């Protein structure tokens, strides 16, 4: 299947980076190379792009897309959580900017066999990196009912988490749950009839939650953002695009923590904590997709862009 992914907020995010010719920039979620190609256009021959992705299919597609550019391009099959070790391995001390486009890609959703979609029948997989061991089938069939309930409630913000977890536990007693259709139907029939059909599929939040668990998308995201900020040169910008409230909350809270200076009680006469602001916000309110982008890409509806500049 041809790799197809429509980048979200590409112009807005790259514009925030203020790409300098000859600079060093990282795309921590390379995907099909949409954001990276815009960065490469501005870098010139002396600049360097570091492209990171967990999905080998994405890396191959990006290599092809970026082949025409003359800047230095370094591709890494890795998790952007490991930015510090990646830079150390490349003998690069600091970078001038970075972009992170969080969540699942269009291609991963559209390729049935990857098991991300509740609309297409496929084995329960959901791994962004197919070399990882944990799959959605493992989560659904081996996690305790209590663990499933926690994941659905915490990562999916699913109000019906207890009923869904109970239905999954009962279904797998008869036979392992092996496909996306099986799981989707179990979830759907955990809802009362009047809530099984509507604009939003009843399995949407649960599939999101299981995917997040399989890929560890939120565990350590705050630390990864801090590591990217530490890896920037003064004046460098980190732009982050999120697609659901959990991601956005972590990004927002981490940025707010890093922009805060002294944390001493207000009645202290002098600062004793020594904390100083590490960043300033590039935009105080998240940027969302414009009407023309929304018409072209339905998946841009929930996207929010936040950016921070290192002091």
Average pLDDT of the segment spanning 161-173: 98
For 91-137, what is each residue's pLDDT tens digit?
A: 999 999 999 999 787 778 778 889 999 999 999 999 999 999 999 99
- Does any domain span residue 163? yes
- Does any domain span residue 46? yes
- Give yes or no for residue 1 having a pLDDT over 60: no
Task: Kindly state whether residues 117 and 208 are assigned to the same domain.
Answer: yes
Closest residue by Cα to residue 214 from 292, 138, 297, 122: 138
Residue 277 or residue 109, greater confidence: 277
Task: Kindly state whether residues 73 and 211 are assigned to the same domain.
Answer: no
Q: What percent of the chain has pLDDT over 90?
A: 85
Average pLDDT of the segment spanning 297-303: 90
Residue 261's pLDDT band (cuts 50, 70, 90): confident
Beta carbons within 8 Å of 137's beta carbon, 6+ residues apart: 123, 124, 125, 176, 177, 178
Q: What's the pLDDT at 176?
A: 98
What crossing angle do the helices spanning 56-66 and 34-43 adopt, rounded to 10°? 30
- Does any domain span residue 2? no
Domain extent for 158: 112-215
Total domain count for the chain? 2
Q: What's the pLDDT at 294?
A: 93
- Give yes or no for residue 2 having a pLDDT over 60: no
Task: Kindly state whether residues 224 and 77 are assigned to the same domain.
Answer: yes
């Amino acid at each position: 299947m041809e790799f197809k992914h429509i980048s979200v907020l590409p112009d807005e995010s790259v514009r925030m980076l203020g790409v300098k010719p000859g600079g060093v920039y990282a795309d921590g979620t390379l995907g099909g190379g949409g954001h990276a190609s815009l960065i490469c256009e501005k870098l010139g021959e002396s600049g360097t792009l570091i492209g990171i992705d967990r999905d080998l299919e994405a890396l191959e597609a990006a290599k092809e897309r970026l082949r025409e550019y003359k800047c230095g391009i370094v591709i890494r099959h890795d998790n952007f959580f490991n930015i510090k070790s990646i830079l150390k391995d490349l003998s690069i001390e600091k970078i001038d900017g970075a972009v992170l486009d969080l969540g699942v890609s269009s291609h991963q959703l559209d390729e049935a066999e990857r098991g991300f979609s509740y609309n297409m029948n496929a084995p329960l997989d959901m791994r962004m990196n197919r070399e990882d061991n944990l799959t959605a089938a493992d989560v659904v069939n081996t996690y305790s009912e209590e663990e499933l309930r926690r994941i659905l409630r915490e990562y999916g913000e699913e109000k019906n988490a207890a009923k869904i977890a109970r239905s999954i536990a009962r279904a797998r007693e008869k036979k392992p749950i092996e496909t996306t259709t099986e799981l989707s139907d179990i979830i759907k029939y955990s809802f009362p009839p009047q809530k099984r059909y509507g604009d939003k599929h009843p399995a949407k939040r649960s599939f999101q939650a299981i995917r997040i668990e399989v890929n560890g998308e939120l565990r350590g995201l705050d630390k990864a953002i801090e590591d990217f900020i530490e890896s920037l040169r003064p004046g460098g910008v980190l732009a982050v695009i999120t697609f659901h409230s959990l991601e956005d909350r972590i990004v927002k809270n981490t940025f707010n923590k890093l922009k805060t200076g002294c944390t001493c009680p207000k009645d202290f006469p002098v600062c004793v904590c020594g904390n100083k602001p590490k960043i300033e916000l590039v935009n105080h309110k998240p940027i969302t997709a414009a009407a023309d982008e929304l018409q072209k890409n339905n998946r841009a509806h929930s996207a929010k862009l936040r950016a921070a500049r290192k002091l």
